[in-house]
Amino acid sequence: MHHMKSAMIAAAGLALLAPPAFSQGVIKIGSSLPLTGGFAVTGDKHRQGFQLCVDMINDKGGLLGKKVELVVSDNRSDTETALSQYERLINVDKVDVLFGTFSSKLTFPTSAVAHKYGMVYPVPSGGALRIWTQGFDNMFYFQQNAAELFGDAPVKLIQERVPEGERPKTVAIVHSDDFFANAIAAGLLGRKVENPGGGVVADLAPGYLKEAGLEVVMEERWPEEGFSDWLNLANSIKRADADLVIGLTASAEEAVQLTRALQTVRAEPKMLYLSQGTQNEYKEGLGKAANGVIVHTSWHADAPWEGAIAGEKITNQAFQQAFKAKFGSDADEDSAIPFAVCEGVEQAIRGAGTTDNAKLKEWLHARTKEDPVRTVLGPFSWDDRGLPVDRTVLLAQWQDGALKFVYPTDEFAGVSDLVYPKPAW
């Protein structure tokens, strides 16, 4: 359609505006994302993060003199569809490079497709440890750590920021039967991580909770899809009367449902820690009820990290302004993570001077703490598995409608006081 329009203008004898200084050809980047189905809200925000970054690259003259084109397919939150779409992106669409998908559930199987074809696979969302123990050397994770290791942060938060005599002693842990939630639970509870085909990937005993002397008085898992019995779950949590409630949800929507149910039954733990809930949907869904809730996150609007595109610095603030200008809403973690993936791929293509995936892989593996990939999620270099070196997740707490940093206390200035115990509903 675009070409027809150009031809019509030319035929009318009108001077055509010169396009940006792109040479012939494009650099195609392909991703399969869950734009419908259970992961749709997050999947769409991933698409927005990718698109904003690609638009910025093109505004700055493209890559290697070529325009960058983003090709996104909707996998409907379905594993088989995601697999066939990555095959298609590589073999039919002939994309030059790939962006990963959302969720451990979809990343685990699709990573094998990327590996089969020797394609670099930069992962925005796929923290389960078994993804990173397949022996693949083409994957790079753009969050701070594997999900099994996340539990270290809330335990350290308690040890560092709550006076000894006031710390929680008992824990209720409830979670979705979801790839990612199960992975965090495994680290907290000291379980073995096993491959689907058998074989232990990691033995996480005794687990972060036991190590810290916290007694688990309740554990319950709800089904991955179609769960709606939130009030009964909340009543069980209330009866357990734990000082610390840990809710590991698969989505922000589940985090809203769980928090709302706890409020309804008036469960009053000293601390409520969730794996999801930094998102705008959580704040909008709960309003004042979010107050005091602690959530882990890979990104925060006030973090002083600087990314780079076309060799030019991008502050978090500039990223947020550009995101809001394009999409009319505030950026959150789910849009910042894919933006960081795109920054990393752009730096690799520019640094290697090619889209040859073998050379991109080599360039990414050569990053160090002193010479990292620079993103709005902070600096990245990776170990042999593709997991980031020396990064910790952030913990944030909802305080009077704003998401405030509370951990780590030494990474940068601006850490807020921890509100503890959690205010009553």
pLDDT, tens only, 18-57 = 445 666 789 999 999 999 998 999 999 999 999 999 999 9
The verdict on 316 and 240 lying in the same domain is no
Three-state DSSP state, 243: coil
Q: Are residues 57 and 124 in the same domain?
A: yes
Query: 13 in a domain, yes or no?
Result: no
Please give the C-alpha separations between residue 58 and each of 21, 67, 121, 310, 352, in angstroms, as whole numbers. Answer: 10, 6, 22, 10, 19
According to the model, what pLDDT value does residue 38 have?
87
Backbone conformation region of residue 353, classed left if phi is above 0, alpha if psi is from -120 to 50, else beta:
left
Per-residue pLDDT at 187: 97
Kindly state whether residue 34 falls inside one of the protein's structural domains.
Answer: yes
96 shares its domain with 161: no
344 and 280 in a single domain? The answer is no
Give how many domains the chain has, as a whole number.
2
SS3 content of the chain, % helix, strand, coil (to 5): 40, 20, 40
Question: Please, what is the Cα angle at 113 between 109 and 114, to 5 degrees?
Answer: 115
| DSSP run (H or E) holding 412 | none
What is the CATH classification number for the domain harbouring 399?
3.40.50.2300
Structure pTM? 0.88
Q: How many CA atoms lie within 13 A of 395 on its CB side?
A: 26
| Non-local CB neighbours of 250 within 8 Å, separated by 6+ positions | 38, 103, 176, 178, 180, 181, 224, 276
pLDDT of residue 412: 84
> Are 129 and 185 contained in the same domain?
no
Question: Which contiguous run of DSSP H or E holds residue 220?
Answer: strand 215-222
Q: Are residues 140 and 156 in the same domain?
A: no
Largest CA distance in the chain: 82
Same domain, 275 and 172: yes
Backbone torsion region of residue 400, taken as left when φ is above 0, otherwise alpha when ψ lies between -120 and 50, otherwise beta = left
The answer to whether residues 58 and 90 belong to one domain is: yes
Q: Do residue 229 and residue 184 come from a single domain?
A: yes
CB 110 within 8 A of CB 86: yes
Q: Is 243 among the domain residues?
A: yes
pLDDT of residue 310: 93
3-class SS at 36?
A: coil
Would you say residue 334 lies in a domain? Answer: yes
Cα 309-314-315 angle, rounded to 5 deg: 160
Neighbours of 363 (CB within 10 A): 20
Q: How far is CA 244 from the centre of its chain?
A: 25
Q: What is the pLDDT along the chain (425 residues), one digit of tens a residue?
A: 444 444 443 444 443 444 456 667 899 999 999 999 989 999 999 999 999 999 999 999 999 999 999 999 999 999 999 999 999 999 999 999 999 999 999 999 999 999 999 999 999 999 999 999 999 999 999 999 999 999 999 999 999 999 999 999 999 999 999 888 999 999 999 999 887 777 888 899 999 999 999 999 999 999 988 899 999 999 999 999 999 999 999 888 999 999 999 999 999 999 999 999 998 889 999 999 999 999 999 998 888 899 999 999 999 999 999 999 999 999 999 999 999 999 999 999 999 999 999 999 999 999 999 999 999 999 999 999 999 999 989 999 999 999 999 999 888 888 999 999 999 99
Q: For residue 263, what are the domain limits? A: 148-297+393-407
385 domain-assigned: no
- Report the pLDDT value the prediction gives residue 21, as an integer from 0 to 100: 60
| Spatial separation of the C-alpha atoms in residues 290 and 284, rounded to whole Å | 9
Please tell me whether residues 282 and 312 are part of one structural domain.
Answer: no
Confidence at residue 23, expressed as pLDDT on a 0 to 100 scale: 64
pLDDT recorded at residue 2: 47
Packing angle of the helix pair 179-189, 104-116 (nearest 10 deg):
110
Q: Is residue 373 part of a domain?
A: yes
E strand or H helix at 310, and its extent? none
Q: Are residues 272 and 371 in the same domain?
A: no
Determine the pLDDT at residue 19: 46
**pLDDT value, residue 66:** 96
Cβ 18 vs Cβ 5: under 8 Å: no
